[in-house]
Amino acid sequence: MNSYELRQWQIKEAPFRPFDLAHTETILTIGNGLVGVRGSFEEGYPTDSPTTLLAGIFNHKAGTLVPELVSMPNWLSLTIHVNGEAFRLDQGRILGYERVLNMKTGILTRGVLWLSPNRTILRLAFERFTSLANPHILALRVLIQPLSEGQHQLRMTSALDGRILNPGNVDHWANLHGEVSQDQLFINGTTDQSGYHVAMAAQLLSTHSGEWADESNPRCPAHSLTFQLNQNEKATITKLVSIHSSRDTDDPITAARTTLEQAVEVGYDKLKLDHESAWYDYWDQMDIVIEGDEVAQRAVRFCTYHLLIATPQYDERVSIAAKSLSGFGYKGHVFWDTEFFMLPPLTLAMPEAARRLLMYRYHNLDGARKKARANGYEGAMFPWESTDTGEETTPQWTDPHPVTGERIRIWTGDNEQHISSDIAYAVLQFWQWTGDDAWFVQYGAEIVLDTAVFWASRAEYNAEYDRYELRQQIGPDEYHENVDNSVFTNRLVAWHMQQALNVLDWLHQNHPQAAQRLEAQLNIQPQKWQDIAQKMWINVNQGVLEQFEGFFDRLQPFNLYDYTPRTANMDWILGHEKTQRVRVIKQADVVMLMAILWDELGDHDFLMRNWETYYPVVDHGSSLSPSIHAWVAARLGLLREAYDLFIYAATIDLEDHKGNVRDGIHAACCGGVWQAVVFGFCGLKLRDNEITLDPMLPKHWRRVAFKVVHQGRIIPIEITNT
Ligand code: IFM
């Protein structure tokens, strides 16, 4: 690979950006679907947040509002002393520095040339990865070389640091027990409410022998190795770590010991090779090649990389959190972000992974049924936010405002109900692309049908107008809460009811036993479903879809451009109450509906009128918005807007456009970017089971290439710009 090609696979930090730690920690996260590890430094700094998260390990601490992902013991901890001086970037002088995330291999490296306060020059080369070949193995290595004259004493101190707590100093552990045995470390503990048992083991391997010492603290097993190095002599220190939990085994302690033994036996080099070759396969499936646009190429790879490191490889009882495993934003909860944003790329390119994510919803049908019953409905009403239990975990209140102490009621858990249809949409899209009838009959159909049962019990019949309505909803535009007849929701529900009827017919014709089983199990009412599909109120006002009742008549007109330029969201500027009263919207709402249903909604003029109505008033207050707008703009032939929106979305985390990357990657945006290229610029569609393309590429893109899987067949797609 030449250096131009290489650059498009790399995220580089050079020189060191000391004031940007939280941002770089997030964007340089490594992971393998099981484990996510923020890009914190081995030696640790006062303002860092060294976080390792394990998929599905949630705990609801007494006194906190909702469950959250639990911070694991910090396995990165490795401090280096040379002649008694601690290697730290905030002391001495940095003579050279480069940190590189190689997205092609999922390996993070750091090279440093450091002059210590006492003038010893040290060359350091760090490298770390979370094995994609065996996700229970984590590895880091550092090469050390003193360049100053004489003999130098090196002391390496390694720990599994269980003193790391969640934000707000929330301690989720009932107990954490550490142990040291010369070159090995062990730690295990149990979460205090959910009762997950987690065990980690580590071994430090060195090219140089020396003196071992136990350096443990409570909750922090640690050891050190001291040895001598001459000028220019190199030492390599390798830390191999294993991690298991009661989510994957009955005996995490034994599993952690066994996995560590195996890792040590295989050795770092082979572990790395296996890891790299697993990444090769990942990229072979998911990469989008864009020729002619280096910025776009790297940014799209960055988004795909973050989607890949968040995608569970085995466990079908976990999904992908809104901020993946890269930070604590939204506490690790799962939203519609998965089904509408992250799943489509996986459905098209890695259907096995998509299937697992859909199984998360299937396994959580009971939670959805419980929610429906608790609200007086039937069927399956999926939670707006969920964790490992499938129950509703949206907090009801915001945290108190730091100055006023005010808390705002959060209504999304009550009324952002479109998620049930979003999930049905994702199931149907998966079925359509994979043609996996066996899976659909056994699992998918139940999701589509029981969510339809929910809507049949939820929809309100308005006899005066002979129509169905949905009151008290929140559409994707969360700036306007508890509105009546959100057109996004109503239209999607109408579509969903029709699809459910089609599924029922198909089952009767092709799998009558399954049809009977589901009819016996669920309250299926074809007549009522038909009625709802036909009579759901879809409000067209002034020639466009009205986002909700009163959007045009009751909201005050608002000129977003009066507030340009700005980075803050409009609800922060105007305040919660005022935002509800003005015509400014948070994110793609009607435009989201256009993206997914497109010409089922109307002809080109109708779609354009809707775009012209909603695009000028969208704040992009959610990172979910720009990529969808890019997709729709491309379809409308508005290439300039499409490209600007696309680049904004693709670099949202790299350039921290929203100012909150410290909380984690905007994982939905990552999936949205993939879709903006494939569905937007390339115009990929499945029509009557045929793949069609209708490219609208930015002028300077010479070539776009990617692969999709259609009904088991890998289809390479290549579009060249003429
Ligand atoms: O699901 C989104 C929502 O659409 C906008 N607010 C943030 C949520 C999590 O990403």
DSSP 4-33: HHHHTTEEEE-S--GGGHHHHHHHT-EE-S
Task: Work out the number of other CB atoms within 10 angstroms of the CB of residue 502.
Answer: 12
Does any ligand 1 atom lie closer than 6 A to the CB of residue 330?
A: yes
In the reported structure, the alpha carbon of residue 241 is separated from the centroid of ligand 1 by a whole-number distance in angstroms of 34
Supply the residue whose CA is at minimum distance from atom 9 of ligand 1.
322
At 505, give phi and psi (nearest 5°): -60, -45
pLDDT in tens, 255-283: 999 999 999 999 999 999 999 999 999 99
Q: Does 403 have pLDDT greater than 90?
A: no
Q: Residue 400 above 90 pLDDT?
A: no
316 has a pLDDT exceeding 90: yes
Pick from 323, 342, 478 the residue to mutate for probing ligand 1's pocket: most ligand atoms within 8 Å of its CB: 478
Q: What residue type is 684 in one-letter code?
A: L
Cβ–ligand 1 contact at 592 (below 6 Å): no
User: Can you say whether the dihedral through the CA atoms of 91, 101, 40, 394 is positive or negative?
Assistant: positive
The reply to whether ligand 1 has any atom less than 6 angstroms from the CB of 384 is: no
CB-ligand 1 contact for 322 (6 Å cutoff): yes
DSSP 279-339: HHHHHHHH--EEET-HHHHHHHHHHHHHHHHHS-SS-TT----TTTTS--GGGG-B-TIII
User: Lowest mean pLDDT: which of 3-12, 144-153, 217-226, 598-607?
Assistant: 3-12
Instruction: Give yes or no for residue 565 having a pLDDT over 90.
Output: no
Nearest ligand 1 atom to the CA of 476 is 4
Rounded to an integer, the average pLDDT of 570-577 is 92
Residue 360 has pLDDT above 90, yes or no: yes
What's the 542 CA to ligand 1 centre distance in angstroms? 29
As a whole number, mean pLDDT of residues 693-712 equals: 98
- In ligand 1, the atom with minimum distance to the C-alpha of 333 is 9
The preferred substitution site among 306, 334, 337, 473 for testing ligand 1, maximizing ligand atoms within 8 Å of CB, is 337
Closest by alpha carbon to 144, among 80, 189, 200, 84? Answer: 80
Alpha helices in 120-231 (DSSP H): none
Domain boundaries, the chain: 3-257, 284-720
Task: Determine the pLDDT at residue 4.
Answer: 84
Whether 422 lines ligand 1, by a CB cut-off of 6 Å, is: no
Distances (CA, A) of 557 to 12, 612, 616, 632: 44, 15, 11, 24
Ligand 1 atom nearest to 412, measured from its CA: 3
- Cα of 623 vs centre of ligand 1, distance in Å, is 8
Grouping H, G, I as helix, E, B as strand and the rest as coil, residue 42 is coil
How much of the chain exceeds pLDDT 90, in percent? Answer: 96
CB of 522 within 6 A of ligand 1: the answer is no
pLDDT of 546: 98
> Average pLDDT of 74-98?
98
Q: What is the pLDDT of residue 621?
A: 96
With 90 as the cut, is the pLDDT of residue 566 above it? no
| Ligand 1: residue whose CA is nearest its atom 7 | 622
Phi and psi (nearest 5°) for 633? Answer: -60, -40
Q: According to the model, what pLDDT value does residue 59 have? A: 98
Rounded to an integer, the average pLDDT of 191-201 is: 98
DSSP 483-537: BS--HHHHHHHHHHHHHHHHHHHHHHHH-HHHHHHHHHHS---HHHHHHHHHHB-
* Residue 624 CB less than 6 A away from ligand 1: yes
The domain defined by 284-720 folds into Glycosyltransferase (1.50.10)
- Domain 3-257's class? mainly beta
Mutate to test the pocket of ligand 1, among 335, 618, 663, 669 (most ligand atoms within 8 A of CB): 335
Peptide bond into 565 cis (omega under 30): yes
Say which range, 66-70, 375-379, 403-407, has the weakest mean pLDDT: 403-407
Question: How many whole angstroms separate alpha carbon 352 and alpha carbon 291?
Answer: 29
* CA 335 – ligand 1 centroid, Å: 7
- Is the predicted pLDDT of residue 2 greater than 90, yes or no? no
Name the catalytic one among 13, 339, 416, 478: 478
How far does the centroid of ligand 1 lie from the alpha carbon of residue 337, in Å?
7
What is the atom index within ligand 1 of the atom nearest the CA of 337? 1
Ligand 1 neighbour 302 (Cβ under 6 A): no
355 band by pLDDT with thresholds 50, 70 and 90 = very high
Residue type for position 46? P
**The ligand 1 atom nearest the CA atom of 322:** 10
Task: Name the residue with the closest Cα to ligand 1, atom 6.
Answer: 622
Cβ–ligand 1 contact at 476 (below 6 Å):
yes
The pLDDT value given to residue 70: 98
Ligand 1, atom 5, residue with closest C-alpha: 622
Q: How far is the CA of 386 from the centre of ligand 1 (A)?
A: 13
- Could you identify the atom of ligand 1 that is nearest to the CA of residue 478? 5
Residues 6+ apart with CB under 8 A from 264: 203, 205, 240
Task: Report pLDDT for 431.
Answer: 98
Active site residue 478: yes
Q: Is residue 250 very low, low, confident or very high in pLDDT (cuts 50, 70, 90)?
A: very high
Determine the average pLDDT of the residues in 457-480: 98
Mean pLDDT score, 630-655: 98
| Pocket mutation for ligand 1, best pick of 488, 570, 624 (most atoms within 8 Å of C-beta) | 624
Gap from CA of 85 to ligand 1 centroid (Å) = 46
The pLDDT value given to residue 184: 98
For ligand 1, atom 4, name the residue with the nearest CA. 476
The answer, yes or no, to whether residue 16 has pLDDT greater than 90, is yes
Ligand 1: atom nearest CA of 668 is 10
Give the other-Cβ count within 10 Å of 581's Cβ: 14
SS3 assignment, position 416: coil
What local confidence, expressed as pLDDT, does residue 58 receive?
Answer: 98
Distance from residue 624's CA to the centre of ligand 1 (Å): 7
If you average pLDDT over residues 560-582, what whole number do you get?
Answer: 92
Q: Rounded distance, CA 99 to CA 238, Å?
A: 19
